Amino acid sequence: MNEIDLNHLRRAINLASSAREKGNHPFGSLLVDENGIALVEAENTNVTESDLTAHAEMNLVRMAARKYSLDVLARSTLYSSTEPCVMCAGAIYWAHIGRVVYALSQQSLSEMAGSERGPLSCRDVLTQVEVIGPAMEEEARTVHEEFWKP
């Protein structure tokens, strides 16, 4: 993890904040090529699109797969404000994305949201993908503050 990774994670957190401002759950992600250039950005749109599968990472994978070859995706890094859920991890796996870096862990999110379901790690699915995180958990928590309270 380096300063470039941290800057991209901050962008993912900003995207999560934007999603929240639009009435969606606070999650954001971006895909960056091997040269550090952002290729695609996405926010969670599950509320505004009435689609429970419209997580930021799912939206990103759909857009990226339409625009880029598997070879480009394999050399890219997906940055996420929060550890991808197992559904999103499956999409990342099938898209052949080579690296995932996330800010907030599923464990921390589960605790904040008061989830009765135990968190599942994306590492359980992404066994052939480099996964780095959690990183910047305190900064990533801010976008979730007060969101998950009834």
The string of pLDDT tens digits covering residues 49-90 is 999 999 999 999 999 999 999 999 999 999 999 999 999 999
> Is 116 designated active site?
no
Tokens matching residue 112: 């904040």
**Chain position carrying tokens 């699915």:** 125
Q: What is the pLDDT of residue 119?
A: 74
Residue pair 91/57 in contact (Cβ under 8 Å)? The answer is yes
Distance CA 44, CA 146 (A): 18
Catalytic residue among 57, 83, 111, 130: 57
